[in-house]
Amino acid sequence: MTSFFLAVRLFHDALHNDPPQKSSTTDPQTFAAACGISTGLLAQLQAFVSNGSLATLTFPAPVPGAPTTVLGLATETNEHFCEAAHE
């Protein structure tokens, strides 16, 4: 599987689960990898939107206060992974 598809899978899983939470049993390298992959996915999504390959999709917030665009969700997911990686 290519890294892009792995990033999409990771992003999908993050959207359907709670944001990553760091615990004493969690390997910090996992969050570092997730941060890197989600950063790459975010950059790819931004490129797709900027060149017109992907429409700026909007939808109702899945929970109150959540982003309502694909880029907003990708940004928030990336921030969660990267914050957990740097704790």
pLDDT at position 5 is 57
pLDDT at position 1 is 42
Which pLDDT tens digit goes with each residue over 16-50? 555 555 443 366 778 888 899 999 999 999 999 99
Q: How would residue 15 be classed by pLDDT, with cut points 50, 70 and 90? A: low
Number of domains in the chain: 1
pTM of structure = 0.66
- Residues 27, 87 contacting (CB under 8 angstroms): no
Close Cβ partners of 81 (under 8 Å, ≥ 6 residues apart): 14, 20, 31, 34, 35, 38
Instruction: Show the beta-strand stretches assigned E in 3-87.
Output: none
**Which residues form the domain of 80?**
3-17+25-85
Helices 70-85, 28-50: inter-axial angle, 10-degree rounding: 150
Residue 63 has which token pair? 């929970």
Which pLDDT tens digit goes with each residue over 47-82? 999 999 888 888 888 888 889 998 998 999 899 889
Q: How many helices (H) and strands (E) does the chain have?
A: 3, 0
